[in-house]
Amino acid sequence: MLGNLSTIRALVWTDYRLALLFAVFIPLTLLIWSWIKKSETVSLSMTIYWRVASLLGITVYLMIAGLSIGFITALLAKVLIVLSLWFWVDLNEEIREQPKRALHIGFSAWRWAMSAYCGIGAIIQLWFIRCAFSRELLSGGTCQAWMEPALAFKSYVHNGLTSGFLGFWGIVGLVIYAAYLGYFLLVKLGRQGRSALNQ
């Protein structure tokens, strides 16, 4: 795997901290800001982002339970987030045509930064994708290091609940997410194409 265990732990915790910044706090601020400024374009972009990025939250619950599929969903979430930020032709045009106000500059800066973070994160995640397919690797220190922040989250937020119970809800969330994604790809995409405003 990549480097020694202490280096991997540092990398994992850095990734989770960056995820809190780029995937939670900044987009939440942008969403609220877009509501205050009544910016339909940014508001719709952020709503779509949150729908897609919910896979990151599901991944945390899968990791809490030690489920190896969490390594796959972590990689998939980063790929889908980048796609969701740039996929919509009409939103991209609207954003380009907006006056260069603070909200739109902030949104554009975050979108580029988030794309870079997810791109680099996906490349790193590929180094550890083998953890999803090997029980022996999954029980090793390098794979377990990816679960440590999720377990720390459990101790802060869900201290009285078992890992198995939280993992069950992670699986339920994943099934719902997969069903919605399948519906979008097989039905909605054919109807609306790459137009987000005609949903």
pLDDT tens, residue by residue, 56-108: 999 999 999 999 999 999 999 999 999 999 999 888 888 888 778 899 999 99
| pTM for the full predicted model | 0.90
pLDDT-above-90 percentage for the chain: 72
The three-point CA angle 46-56-18 to 5° equals 80
Asked whether residue 26 is domain-assigned, the answer is yes
pLDDT-above-70 percentage for the chain: 96
Asked whether residue 199 is domain-assigned, the answer is no
Asked whether residue 197 is domain-assigned, the answer is no
pLDDT (tens digit per residue) in 133-165:
887 667 778 888 999 999 999 999 998 899 999
Asked whether residue 136 is domain-assigned, the answer is yes
- Comparing 191 with 29, the larger pLDDT belongs to 29
Asked whether residue 198 is domain-assigned, the answer is no
* Structural domain harbouring 187: 5-192
Q: Cα(163)–Cα(166) distance, rounded to whole angstroms?
A: 5
Q: Do the Cβ atoms of 115 and 31 come closer than 8 Å?
A: no
Asked whether residue 131 is domain-assigned, the answer is yes
Look at residue 20 in the predicted model and tell me its pLDDT: 95
Of residues 195, 170, 48, 39, the one with CA closest to residue 106? 39
Confidence of residue 175 (pLDDT cuts 50, 70, 90): very high
Look at residue 82 in the predicted model and tell me its pLDDT: 97
Give the count of domains, the chain: 1
Asked whether residue 183 is domain-assigned, the answer is yes
Look at residue 1 in the predicted model and tell me its pLDDT: 44
